Structure 1
Amino acid sequence: MKNNYEISLLVIRLVLGVTFVLHGIAKFEMGLTNVAGWFESIGLFGSLAYVVAFIELFGGIALILGLGTRVAAFITGSVMVGAIVTAKLSAGFLGGYELDIALLAMAIALVVSGSRMFAMESKLFSENEKITPVSNH
């Protein structure tokens, strides 16, 4: 049963990671200057486009690798909240923020539960490793 739970979280982590990597790459391919111009056109700081592009690309890579999963999910989820509030909410659910809310829900699931299956962090920081206090004897 626990294995099914971990498989589900792995699927969520990989799909979310790949989605963010592809969105990050797309922003770089469009040219960050163009993306910054679009950000400014909707009333945001253009420099925020650079931050978002890096978060999407590197946050997605971190999710795929399972490195800092909860942190990466929180940060990418925050990008989704920003996208919904600033650009998508006025368009409504269908054709507006439907994808963003699904990605946000996936991110929340990972923040709450993590994902250890095939995750680098589970190899680097094994739960079986206990730190023992140094004795003064």
Structure 2
Amino acid sequence: MTKINVVSTIARIVLGILFVAHGLDKFQMGLGNVEAWFDSIGVPGPLAYAVAYIELVGGILLIAGIFTRYVAALLVIILIGAIITTKLSVGLLGNGQMAGYELDLSFIVIAVYLIVADRSPLSLDHMLWRKRSA
């Protein structure tokens, strides 16, 4: 296993853990509350449910390393949506009351890397696709 494979695996697992945490946070707040907040900022409320499930399940899938490219692409879309709808107006570093979009940009860079990188040998993706191509 190369250094790149190790770093790719660490990046995938850490990003997965972070999105599991974000998804769980939405469930703990109550999806109804998240829906109301989405409505209050002009985002259709029902999207709160999709975002929460994508973050939670997507994070778990990233940790396991399955459907990594597809999950990472969905997360990029969610992150771009979060920047455009809530964080762009407060700036890169935020305004003292709300965080800026610097963390979202970091997550986007990691997710884009996972979309284009070779499959890590320590992932279910690698095991599944290796067997199919053999």
- Structure 1 length as normaliser, TM-score? 0.89
CA distance in 1, matches of 2:118, 2:14: 14
Gaps of 5+ in 2: 95-99
Partner of residue 120, structure 1: 124
Partner residue of 1:99 out of 103, 106, 113: 103
CA distance in 2, matches of 1:60, 1:128: 25
The root-mean-square deviation of aligned C-alpha atoms, in Å, is 1.4
Structure 1 residue 27: deviation in Å? 0.2
Name the SS for the 1:125 alignment partner: helix
Contact between 1:70 and 1:114, CA under 8 Å: does it hold in 2?
no
Structure 1 residue 102: deviation in Å? 0.5
Cα distance per residue 1:88-125 (max 9 Å; x no partner): 11110113101111001100000111442310111122
Alignment of structure 1 residues 61-72 onto 2, 5 Å: 61-72=60-71
CA distance in 2, matches of 1:9, 1:45: 35
Contact between 1:69 and 1:114, CA under 8 Å: does it hold in 2?
no
> Greater Rg, structure 1 or structure 2?
1
Name the SS for the 2:130 alignment partner: coil
1:82 aligns with 2:81: yes
Q: State percent identity of aligned pairs.
A: 44
Partner residue of 1:110 out of 109, 114, 118: 114
Q: How many residues end up aligned between the 2 structures? A: 129
Cα gap change, 1:127 to 1:116, in 2 (>3 Å)? farther
Contact between 1:13 and 1:115, CA under 8 Å: does it hold in 2?
no
